[in-house]
Structure 1
Amino acid sequence: MIPGASGPCPCGGVPEGVPLSACCGPYLAGESWPPTPEAVMRSRYTAYVVRDEDHLFRTWHPTTRPAEVEVDPSLTWTGLDVLEAGGNDDEGIVEFAAHWTSGEGAVRQRGAVRERSRFTRRAGRWFYLDAVRSGD
């Protein structure tokens, strides 16, 4: 069971407010595969929110993924802004800003990871390939 499956999907997909179980949930559960680079990226963001390292590993292209994927437990992911998405039949890009908080009270920090991610199709499925970050 995915935590928060009955609540709104953290990816902020369209239409906004759709429950996780009807948005990224089937991807995280392995019931289906995200059909576009943007859907892969949104499902990966959701995996960071719910700390689903298996989904992050599965959607990472085998030529660039690390041996293990670990989610930083000190970060709470608080929002996603998709800035650009596009591509062709074999390659795609998604630029986004993923917002986070860390700590509590007076030591609480906020930030965002801005990334231009590249995706490639392998055996009919889209995979995260790599990215260029422009801020943390």
Structure 2
Amino acid sequence: MAACPCGRADARGRPLAYAACCGRFIENFEAMPAPDAEPLMRSRYTAFVLERADYLLATWHTSRRPSDISFDPGVKWLGLEVRQHRLLDATHAEVEFVARQKGAGSPAVRLHERSRFVREVGRWYYVDGDQL
């Protein structure tokens, strides 16, 4: 039972397994959409850790989706902290987070972002974000 890279824990503070957390969305994209913006953001972080470009592209809103995604070799993701999740209305939300990573031979860096999400036809999508 491998812990989910997003770091989510159960009520007792034990790390959730990948299959019980982000894995259910990443591995079952068509049948199991993330229920709101925070689990979508967490699953997208996990997809970066696992280099799952297919999931990242599928969960990126078409208005901002890149044509492809590449991953920097040697990057190690060090952790995720969700600072805030705000539901703005029934179809818009924001998630503020800090993700840490370290490149091969370089110091660790933090990505602090407020991400915007939109819900369309029952599915949440990442739109874009502002670095903080």
TM-score of the alignment, normalized to the shorter chain, above 0.5: yes
Q: Distance in 1 between matches of 2:57 and 2:2?
A: 24
Deviation at 1:75? 1.4
Name the residue aligned to 2:60: 60
> Which amino acid letter does the alignment assign opposite residue 92 of structure 1?
A
Q: CA deviation at 1:119?
A: 0.2
Gaps of at least 5 residues in structure 2 are none
What letter matches 2:50 in structure 1? Answer: V
Q: Please report the TM-score for the alignment, with normalisation by the length of structure 2.
A: 0.90
User: Is residue 11 of structure 1 aligned with residue 6 of structure 2?
Assistant: yes
Identity score, percent: 37
Structure 1 residue 108 displacement after superposition: 3.9
Classify the secondary structure of the residue corresponding to 2:40: helix
Q: Which residue of 1 aligns with 2:124?
A: 126
Q: Tell me by how many angstroms 1:128 deviates.
A: 0.2
Q: Deviations over 1:36-72 (max 9, x none)?
A: 1001000000000111010100100011111112222
Amino acid at match of 1:13: R
Q: 1:14, CA displacement in angstroms?
A: 3.5
Provide runs of 4+ in structure 1 moved above 6 Å.
none
Match of 1:109 among 107, 110, 113: 107
The Cα RMSD (Å) is 1.2
Tell me the number of residue pairs that the alignment of Structure 1 and Structure 2 aligns.
Answer: 126
**TM-score of the aligned structures, taking structure 1 as reference length:** 0.87
Pairing 1:20–2:15 present: no
Distance 1:110 1:77 in 2: 9
Separation in 2 of the partners of 1:43 and 1:125?
14
- Residue type at the aligned position of 2:98: A
Aligned residue runs from structure 1 range 14-53, under 5 A = 14-15=9-10, 16-29=14-27, 30=29, 31-53=31-53
